[in-house]
Amino acid sequence: MTDQETSAGNPVSAALESPSSVVVSAAAQDDYAQLQRRLLLATLIAAALAVLVTALVFDLHTAASVLAGSLAGVVYLRLLGRSVARLGPDAKKVGKLQLLVPVVLVMASARLPQLELLPALLGFLLYKPALIVQVALDLRAGRP
């Protein structure tokens, strides 16, 4: 069986073997890296605003819990991004290391009197509004 026959029978193999797919793949990886940076930046901005507002409206104790939760959210988002970036022919599923982050956050807030559970969890979930804002900005800019 020749390479052309094999490629014709399997379009995924044909796309993986063609030189243009390597260029597209590199461009897609660059786009994904840029998306990750934008998401992390948006999450950090949302976290800074949330901590500031929490410190002004509530107290520093609650703001510290939001800060701890938002830092855990950034770590979670980074680990998830690295896991997704590794997906390919060799790795068919996303790793589960990032799932430990919220578990550790809940355990830490249960054990440490300085951390409050609800503000820490709300801080952790700040990556979600940042993600929604980033998707809205991408759609507005015409990026798929």
Is residue 1 in a domain? no
Is residue 14 in a domain? no
Do residues 68 and 105 touch, judged by C-beta distance below 8 A? yes
Is residue 2 in a domain? no
Instruction: For residues 43 and 36, give the distance between their C-alpha atoms in angstroms, rounded to a whole number.
Output: 10
Instruction: For residues 90 and 121, give the distance between their C-alpha atoms in angstroms, rounded to a whole number.
Output: 34
Do residues 109 and 138 touch, judged by C-beta distance below 8 A? no
Is residue 52 in a domain? yes
* Range of the structural domain that residue 97 is part of: 39-141
Is residue 24 in a domain? no
The mean-pLDDT minimum among 15-29, 64-78, 100-114, 124-138 falls in 15-29
Domain count within the chain? 1
27-84 pLDDT, tens digit each: 878 888 898 999 999 999 999 999 999 999 999 999 999 999 999 999 999 999 888 8
Q: Would you list the DSSP string of 107-133?
A: HHHHH-TT--HHHHHHHHTTHHHHHHH
- Give the Å distances, CA to CA, from 23 to 15, 67, 83: 11, 40, 22
Kindly give the interhelix angle for 117-124 and 19-57, rounded to the nearest 10 degrees: 150
Is residue 10 in a domain? no
Is residue 123 in a domain? yes
Instruction: For residues 43 and 61, give the distance between their C-alpha atoms in angstroms, rounded to a whole number.
Output: 21
pLDDT at 2 over 50: no
Do residues 7 and 14 touch, judged by C-beta distance below 8 A? yes
Tokens standing for residue 65: 């819990």
Is residue 26 in a domain? no
E strand or H helix that includes residue 10: none
**pLDDT tier at 12, thresholds 50, 70, 90:** very low
Instruction: For residues 87 and 5, give the distance between their C-alpha atoms in angstroms, rounded to a whole number.
Output: 27
**pLDDT tier at 127, thresholds 50, 70, 90:** very high
How confident is the prediction for the chain on average, in pLDDT?
83
